Structure 1
Amino acid sequence: MENMDLRPLFGGSYTDLRVLVTGHTGFKGSWLCLWLQQMGAQITGLALPADTTPSHWGLLQLDGVRNLEVDLRDSAALRAAIDAEQPHMVFHLAAQPLVRRSYRDPVGTFATNVTGLVNLFEAVRGCASVRALVNATTDKVYLDQTTEDGYHEQHPLGGHDPYSTSKACAELVSECYRKSFFSGVGQSQPRVATARAGNVIGGGDWSEDRLVPDLVRSAMAGAPLRVRNPHAVRPWQHVLEPLSGYLRLGQALLAGERAEGPWNFGPATDATMPVAGLVARMRELWPGVRDEPCNDSHPHEAATLRLDCGKAARELGWHPVWNATQTVERTIGWYRAFHEGNTVLSHSDLSAYVADARAAKLDWATSP
């Protein structure tokens, strides 16, 4: 299955396309580069070095990906890099992505997630080659309020912690630049959209203060993890789910479809579950996973978070592929293979995901 030809995916939009991925050394960014490489894109990654050891980016060892170490806060270096690379498509994933770190470093979080985005847009404004830009934000951009059906794209933005607030600001910055500088200015101007997704799991994530990496580390250490907020409800999804949404959205923007603005990408309904439910599913697959209550005080987190992804289904034909069982099995299978046999299953996971998408007859996977 690993020899599957992925170049026809998304209508062949990415074959030979010059693509810039910011944040390529991170969890989602490294998976996105793997997928783009398999589709024949010409990839430039722009980011700081990976901040975990090991890192998924380092393990993949992707040939042909140009690696640029550039800080988003350095506007001159960022502009020079984009001018030199002349990308057609930009996927912006670089960020300070951790809630608890944002409490420790709010200034750095806002500088990267807001000012860094402004610097990127200014660089893109001066680069005539860019045709489309997808800015990946988060499902945490919404004002925390009770909603039975999940947040849809027109719900008010908000934010309690510095990370969530910085990403809500990033949504406003994106809309500002889209309306002020890009929309209606001319066909040469890039089309801009934002993609809201979160609670992403899958192999290769070793970030601090994230549930699955913390559980994996505790399992390897033979000690229980003290779990915060076991009753908090989250829309868990495999990392390949939102990435398929980003790629479908990029395809639509490149084709001139009416796809600008914000989009939600979330999992199937049965994958939205409490933290305790996810831990229990992981424990079934890896008995070494153990947890215990944590009674320490901790920063605010929303009690319930669900997304309404009806817009993506209706207008992009996008649907999640893997249910909760498949998501957790693939995630735990990846970590166990790595820790017990030093095997990296990322290529086979991607092939399996695409095969299941084709079996489900999703347009992006089956179109010629």
Structure 2
Amino acid sequence: MAGHPPASVDPARFWAGRRVMVTGGCGFGGGHLVLRLVALGAEVGVFDRQPEQPGVLCGDPARAEVDVMRGDVRDQAAVVAALRRWRPEAVFHLAAQPLVPESIRTPADTLAVNAGGTYTLLEAVRRIDQGTAFVLASTGGYYGENHDDRPLQEEDPARAAANLYGASKIAADVAVQAYARTFGLPASVCRFMNTYGPGDRQTSRLVPHALRRLREGGPYDFGDRDDGTTRLDFLFVGDMVEGYLRVAERLAGNPGSCYNFGSGRPTAIRAVARMVSEAYDGVAREPLFRGPRRDRPIVKSLDVTRARTELGWVPTVSLADGLARTVRYATAGPAG
């Protein structure tokens, strides 16, 4: 398929009336995905161990159109019950322990949720309905640390980072590929880079942390995890959602496939912090990064050629525009 324009798919026609299950659908990325699916007319079931958590889904009137079931992806009986309840035609698996610092504090729980939970869900799908499309939310952390400007490609090897989050997501990523190739499941992997956007409340991540510091009015301090020179690929959550949908819409023709999603343009996190400050109140604060100075900055961006040529996906929201939307939401709520 590479090098040829993808066949056109009408999302509204494809998703209207389609039964969909989203694990982790009450979280940040999951909530945005669920709202988009509802808008397209899908029948959405959400499986989440924290269904009351505040977020974009919890505060939106469309939540009334979503069937929400409390459950943990590590609980095989609960997973099977959810699949039998909804009989989904597509499963988007977003449930995860997504935070690097937490993976260091609770490595066993991180591995159990991210790796073990993915195996549990895959096995349940295999036994109940092997025709169910399965899309995994993986990560650019699959590729570990990188120090050159070459965008990373899907064929690049997995490299574990210095934390358990990366290892746990590599295990999940490889499991999905293996189930697709071993059992013929229509399953695929989406590797996303540093997704940000309205409603993200995880302040261990750069943009929510910046917004918290700005609201508090104290030092614009980002701690000692980095020296500010790291250059990363940032992806707006709306572009991430469209990536999920494009993969699922074309999955039947390419099971076991992996796709990168990012802007392809790495930006220094110090510069991103400055941009958040200016978008917040017009003040160009200098962020304080107190990590040890690196001789070679970490650089990570993803080559999205495959997503563009096979799926017709391209990012549409610039970093400046995406940060502006995120700041407006944080300062004025969903109506802002």
**1:3-41 CA distances to partner (integer Å, 9 max, x unpaired)?**
xxxxx9526211100000000011000000100000000
Within the candidate set 209, 213, 222, 2:204 is matched to: 209
* Superposed counterparts of 1:152-231, under 5 Å: 152-160=153-161, 161-181=163-183, 183=184, 190-227=185-222, 228-231=226-229
Report the equivalent of 1:265. 261
Aligned to 1:247: 245
Instruction: Could you tell me which runs of 5 or more consecutive residues in structure 1 were left unpaired when the two chains were aligned.
Output: 1-7, 184-189, 346-368
2:17 maps to what in 1?
16
* Aligned residue number for residue 334 of structure 1: 329
Q: Greater shift after overlay, 110-119 or 121-130?
A: 121-130
Equivalent AA in structure 2 for residue 264 of structure 1:
N
Q: Quick check: 1:275 aligned with 2:239?
A: no
Q: What's the offset of the Cα at 1:334?
A: 1.7
Residue 313 of structure 2 is matched in structure 1 by: 318
TM superposition shift of 1:246: 0.7
Matched AA of 2:256: E
Q: Quote how far apart the aligned CAs of 1:328 are.
A: 1.6
Deviations 1:264-294 (A, max 9, x none): 011153xx20011111112222137855424
- Rate the CA distance shift 1:313–1:149 in 2: closer, same or farther, 3 A: same
Map Cα deviations across residues 124-181 of structure 1 (whole Å, 9 max, x no partner): 0122274311101111101434443211000000212100111111111111111111
TM-score (ref. length: structure 2): 0.89
State the AA in 2 paired with 1:324.
Answer: L
Question: What corresponds to 2:77 in structure 1?
Answer: 76
Aligned AA (1:326): D
Q: TM-score, normalised by structure 1?
A: 0.82
**Would the alpha carbon gap of residues 116 and 289 (structure 1) be closer, same or farther in structure 2, given more than 3 Å must change?**
farther
In structure 1, what residue type is equivalent to 2:208? P
CA drift at 1:99: 0.5
Q: In 2, distance between residues paired with 1:134 and 1:206?
A: 24
Higher mean C-alpha displacement, 107-116 vs 75-84: 75-84
Any conservation in 2 of the 1:215–1:290 contact (CA below 8 Å)? Answer: no
How many residues get paired?
A: 320
Query: In the aligned structure 2, how far is the partner of 1:145 from the partner of 1:276?
Result: 18
Aligned partner of residue 20 in structure 1, secondary structure: strand
Alpha-carbon offset, residue 237 of structure 1: 1.5
| CA distance 1:41–1:19, change in 2 (3 Å) | same
Matches within 5 A, 1:6-85: 9-10=10-11, 12-49=13-50, 54-61=54-61, 62-85=63-86
The 2-side partners of 1:101 and 1:25 are apart by: 19
- Measured after TM superposition, the shift of residue 108 of structure 1 is 0.3
Whole-angstrom distance in 1 between the partners of 2:228 and 2:10: 38
- Pair 1:220–1:146, CA change in 2 (3 A): closer
Q: Is the 8 A contact 2:149 2:299 kept in 1?
A: no
Q: For residue 116 of structure 2, what is the aligned residue in structure 1?
A: 115
- CA displacement at 1:198 relative to structure 2: 2.3
Q: Matches of residues 83-94 of structure 1 in structure 2 within 5 Å?
A: 83-94=84-95
SS at match of 2:15: coil
Answer whether contact 2:154 2:258 (CA < 8 A) is retained. Answer: yes
Q: Which deviations, in whole Å up to 9, do the C-alpha atoms of 1:228-287 show, x marking residues without a partner?
A: 33111111121011110110111001xx32353210011153xx2001111111222213
- Please list the CA deviations of residues 321-364 of structure 1 after superposition, one character each: whole Å capped at 9, or x if unmatched: 112221122111221222xxxx445xxxxxxxxxxxxxxxxxxx
The Cα shift of 1:81 comes to 1.5
Q: C-alpha distance in 1, partners of 2:157/2:130? A: 34
State whether residues 264 and 312 of structure 1, in contact with CA within 8 Å, keep that contact through their aligned partners in structure 2. yes
Give the % identical residues: 29
Residue 102 of structure 1 corresponds to which residue in structure 2? 103
